[in-house]
Amino acid sequence: MDWLKQIFTNKLLYISIAGVITFGAITILVVDNWIMPAYTNYNEGVTVPDLTKISLQEAETLLESYGFRYEILDRRAHSSYPPDYIIDQAPAPRQIVKPNRKIFLTVSTDARPTVVVPNVENMSLRNARIQLENSGLQVGVISMESGRFRDTVIRQSIAAADTVDQGTVVDLAVSDGLGDELVRVPEIVGLPYQEAQQRILEAGLRIGQITYQPDRETTPYTVLSFTPDREELLEGRELDLIVSELWDAQEVDEAGAVIDDNDNDDLEDNLDNGQDNDDQD
């Protein structure tokens, strides 16, 4: 314990700590006020010139006169610019930046990149649009034609696997879900709904509104009737179905309970028959 007491009562320790703190404070002041400003050109700024629409050679000369460096970030075909002209730049014109800043340039070129056209036929319109845009192409005119499956691509204006310029427009013909041929309506009355649904789709028709109707005599979820009740319809048309459900599933009127009249009628018939028999005796 005596040696600890000697250390903490030694004046040299406190002088050393004070010296380190002073040296650190002076270092921070020198770096902050002289070294860093000189390194970063503090309080100095240069306005970025507008380089767009001039040739790359002119841009090089102009940037050198401003004390800037440059780097070609991208080369891109552009119908409005001749080859080796500046299309875009970063930082933008008229911004104030530090001297010796690097300016990134986008330069025009006469070599247009090409892409392979994907096959989008029989795809949904949404998926076809995604495929074309991901390939660097554009979706053009979308025309509707008769077809069985709605919003499905029937035909594309440029054949799949063709090589075209990037950004080329591809027109699409899309099915409206209504065919131009008559198809026979299948026999579905009395069938379970799942089987009826399968037959309707196989025939090239679609299912429209489904109405559930309580029925005592029929197995639940059996097709009772449909509209339009015709032998033939245009391909892609809808059939509205009336499907049976459990008798107990019917909603009760808020005014009171549902009264089953059928049981009362049967009871009255039995009583009448009994009375007739008595009269005959």
**What does the alpha-carbon distance between residue 260 and residue 253 come to, in Å, rounded to a whole number?**
13
Burial label for 174, CB within 10 Å (0-12, 13-18, 19+), is: buried
**Alpha-carbon distances of 104 from 5, 58, 89, rounded to whole Å:** 65, 15, 6
Look at the domain 114-175 and name its fold: Trypsin Inhibitor V; Chain A (3.30.10)
Specify the DSSP element, H or E, that contains 202. Answer: helix 193-202
**CATH code at 182-249:** 3.30.10.20
Evaluate whether 114-175 and 182-249 have a shared fold.
Answer: yes
Cross-strand bridge partners of residue 24: none
Q: Are 213 and 241 in contact (CB under 8 A)?
A: no
Cross-strand bridge partners of residue 155: 173
The 3-state DSSP class for residue 201 equals helix
pLDDT score for 248: 73
Q: Please report, for the chain, the start and end positions of each structural domain, with discontinuous segments joined by +.
A: 2-40, 46-108, 114-175, 182-249
* pLDDT tens for each residue of the chain, 281 residues long: 666 666 667 777 677 787 788 888 888 877 676 666 666 555 568 899 999 989 999 999 999 999 999 999 888 878 788 899 999 999 999 998 888 899 999 999 877 778 999 999 989 999 999 999 999 899 999 998 877 777 889 999 999 999 998 889 999 999 887 766 788 999 999 999 999 999 998 888 888 899 999 988 899 999 999 999 989 988 778 899 999 998 875 444 434 334 344 444 443 444 344 444 444 44
What is the rounded radius of gyration, in angstroms, for the C-alpha atoms of the chain? 43
Q: What is the DSSP letter of 218?
A: S
pLDDT score for 205: 85
Look at the domain 46-108 and name its fold: Trypsin Inhibitor V; Chain A (3.30.10)
**What does the alpha-carbon distance between residue 112 and residue 136 come to, in Å, rounded to a whole number?**
12
Q: Are 175 and 206 in contact (CB under 8 A)?
A: no
Residue type, 132: L
pLDDT score for 85: 94
Q: Are 81 and 63 in contact (CB under 8 A)?
A: no
**Alpha-carbon distances of 270 from 13, 149, 217, rounded to whole Å:** 121, 58, 22
Residue type, 189: V
Q: What is the DSSP letter of 186?
A: P
